[in-house]
Structure 1
């Protein structure tokens, strides 16, 4: 039996891959429900190639919006670069965008035998007779052939095995939300200005996922009104999207953080570095790229390479 800590995208996808290889596994998730924070996610060709090998590509494609182009503008609206995604990812996989809630739901519902235990986390792991003895937050203990950590930037597993130092802020505050696509936006679109970035990605015909960031020292209060004021001078195609945000809505705001450890092996254990939010620092691509880098399912091995 293999234990996976975390029922996010990485943990659920790993469980699906292990099931396809005939491996039994369990998932423990410290939250009371499946994590869906992040609003939207952009899946590049390497991510959708993995989904095809997990037998999930058709279901994800039905719930997603195809991304055929990526465009970058300056804050005045002048086009800086345009890329046809097919020219980059031909022979690998198509590019899609969809809501993170739908993506997590598809991954979770695809699991046939894996049990997800909520409100439960790992306190300690130690070798025991060729197995890993795991102590949980509810006081119980069990033995596993392997333990995979995918429980986020504040991972209890990482803290117990490696450096207990907390994540440190990178000095960038970001906002993420989903809103109506009233401008007819049909492609991945980013705008870069002085110390500011805007990104919008259609996740359906009717809705777009929006991301914005700026240095934290410039942020008085990470509210919707501050966001609108701070990006008021951005031109089309994205400026009017932010300026028309007049109705109350769920806006996620946070400071990007990083784990101060090196990606090196340490005996039986290997820590990996990551940032939060996972989909943001590379203009929204990190979430999709991460899925493609996490697994090697082409041969007989299913190897976890990167945590989310």
Structure 2
């Protein structure tokens, strides 16, 4: 979270959004209030960890869900004190030790004050805003103030585009959609095997050192040509480095396999054509991604972007 990792935030929403929604609505709240609780807790954890040493040795699930319960109790005290008094937050199994409960209480009590410019926090806020629409969508009509703001922003944006002779297609759509993270397991520094190479490649990849990641993944693929994980992340790295021909070779192999990264590879094939501003080829690859694929929601947003 301190790196505003889209993959980490996405995983948190996938695992806990429905549970928090059920908890809040079950105790007198609505979906909008559930979204506020979820977001406030995420930002509280970020702000606290940004300023203090926060080391989690407990499982993250009871830590996060207990924080959401405690936050909702605080909100409920303002809304319905009587009901709040009967709501007693309890950390899910396997529970929390006293130190982690103190972390949560301190994080929720701390004022949310920015310490100067914090681009990472702004990125995290943008990621969270995108997730709200996905996981806490309501059928209520849009707020009028928001609508007016959107209209004014659109007019200003259109005017600036006209002044600068920049079409919407020229904005950096690739950077908007290309964020991902290489998931890996921790390994001992003494290991001299493929697992260690993957660990080192993940560290390089997640810090944006794609050329270094490519070199390490090359070694993995030499040892194990069927390693679809290594081939997928090498393909993604090659796209970012602008080596699109070689990138597409890797991504095509992954797409043609039964790899769990199959449709992620299709998505990055689409992004590779974004880099060449080939809208038609990009759209063709987006359409290969089925609705049940985990990457589909991102593909759907890219498809919407291509329609502008």
TM bucket normalised to smaller: under 0.3
Q: Which one has the bigger strand percentage?
A: 1
Structure with larger Rg: 2
Structure possessing the higher relative contact order (Cα contacts under 8 Å, 6 or more residues apart): 1
TM-score by length of 2: 0.22
TM-score by length of 1: 0.22
